[in-house]
């Protein structure tokens, strides 16, 4: 298990970092792939829970949201809140059309007893996976202005720095929770949802995210207090994301959401904390950092 996790990290992390740096449609394609694979896992969890989601409608809606966000990348960076408002209108339009399509599909199937559950599961999947994944693109496009990296004598686009910080903080948080929980965990955090998670692991995760965000943030030109707040947001949001995914797996009666990543499970198993942390970090940086 350990060597599988390590090998996946050795291969996956450098590749993902290159994609983050390139941005544009390279990152857009990666986020789209992650979104569709993660949505597939979600629909399987829903089916294992006794529901009957409508995957094809979910895939189309999810792909549309990710594609629109990727296409608006430059506008998001240059126009800020104006572009955000325009993109929000487009996302709402996609979600509204998705609701209408789901209800029409249920009518055609003549399945009134489970209409609400099936349509609701499909819409939840779209909101949970592709919509939250799209915030990776928003973080990358939060600013195209260069940032001077202290001591490195190089400049990198600010959006690259913020996306890198959030992803690395989530990885550090997950690693700290796993390691400290295994070694020193004695008190269960939420045994009814995830028996393996401990209070000790949760505290270690929060401290890891906070420390890393403060240090990396300082390197990227963010003051330490702002970096600490950002780390707390990532630490709390990431663990809520982890528990949210755990309750889905608990209801479905499965250990992992998938098996596509050796040693890690599925896409949702690996990126659950990032799905919650990225939107929270984005709005914090957009509103309070600029």
Residue by residue, DSSP assigns 8-57 as HHHHHHHHHHHHHHH-HHHHHHHHHHHHHHHHHHHHHHHHHTT----HHH
pTM listed for this prediction = 0.91
Report whether pLDDT(211) > 80.
yes
Total count of domains within the chain: 1
* Predicted local distance difference test score (pLDDT) of residue 263: 54
Report whether pLDDT(227) > 90.
yes
* Predicted local distance difference test score (pLDDT) of residue 2: 47
Most confident of 123-132, 134-143, 194-203: 123-132
Cα separation, 160 vs 111, whole angstroms: 47
Segment 282-286 shows an average pLDDT of: 94
Banded pLDDT at 138 (limits 50, 70, 90): very high
* Predicted local distance difference test score (pLDDT) of residue 272: 92
Report whether pLDDT(133) > 70.
yes
Segment 148-173 shows an average pLDDT of: 81
Q: Where in the sequence is the domain holding 61, given as residue range(s)? A: 2-289
Would you state the structure tokens that stand for residue 288, as one six-digit string?
């309070």
Banded pLDDT at 212 (limits 50, 70, 90): very high
* Predicted local distance difference test score (pLDDT) of residue 130: 97
CB atoms within 10 A of CB 3: 9
CA distances from 37 to 33, 231, 259, 269 (A): 6, 28, 11, 12
Banded pLDDT at 153 (limits 50, 70, 90): low
Cα separation, 260 vs 265, whole angstroms: 6
Query: CA torsion sign, 91 to 26 to 41 to 189?
Result: negative
pLDDT in tens, 40-67: 999 999 999 989 899 999 999 999 999 9
Supply the mean pLDDT for the chain. 87
CB atoms within 10 A of CB 255: 9
């Amino acid at each position: 298990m350990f060597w599988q996790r390590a090998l996946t990290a050795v291969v996956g992390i450098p590749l993902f970092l290159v994609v983050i740096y390139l941005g544009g449609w390279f990152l857009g394609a990666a986020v789209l792939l992650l979104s569709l694979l993660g949505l597939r896992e979600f629909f399987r969890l829903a089916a294992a829970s006794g529901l009957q989601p409508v995957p094809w409608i979910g895939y189309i809606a999810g792909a549309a949201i990710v594609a629109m966000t990727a296409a608006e990348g430059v506008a998001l960076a240059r126009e800020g809140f104006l572009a955000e408002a325009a993109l929000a209108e487009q996302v709402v339009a996609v979600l509204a059309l998705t609701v209408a399509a789901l209800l029409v599909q249920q009518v055609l199937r003549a399945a009134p007893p489970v209409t609400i559950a099936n349509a609701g599961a499909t819409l939840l999947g779209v909101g949970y996976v592709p919509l939250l994944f799209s915030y990776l693109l928003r973080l990358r496009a939060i600013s195209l202005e260069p940032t001077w990296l202290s001591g490195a004598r190089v400049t990198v686009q600010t959006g690259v720095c913020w996306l890198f910080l959030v992803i690395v903080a989530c990885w550090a948080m997950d690693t700290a929770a796993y390691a400290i929980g295994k070694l020193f965990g004695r008190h269960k955090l939420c045994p009814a949802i995830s028996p393996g998670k401990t209070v000790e692991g949760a505290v270690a995760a929060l401290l890891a995210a906070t420390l890393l965000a403060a240090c990396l943030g300082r390197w990227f030109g963010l003051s330490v207090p702002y970096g600490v707040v950002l780390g707390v947001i990532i630490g709390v949001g990431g663990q809520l994301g982890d528990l949210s995914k755990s309750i889905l797996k608990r209801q479905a009666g499965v250990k992992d959401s998938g098996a596509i990543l050796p040693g890690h499970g599925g896409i949702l198993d690996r990126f659950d904390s990032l799905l919650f942390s990225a939107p929270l970090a984005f709005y914090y940086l957009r509103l309070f950092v600029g």
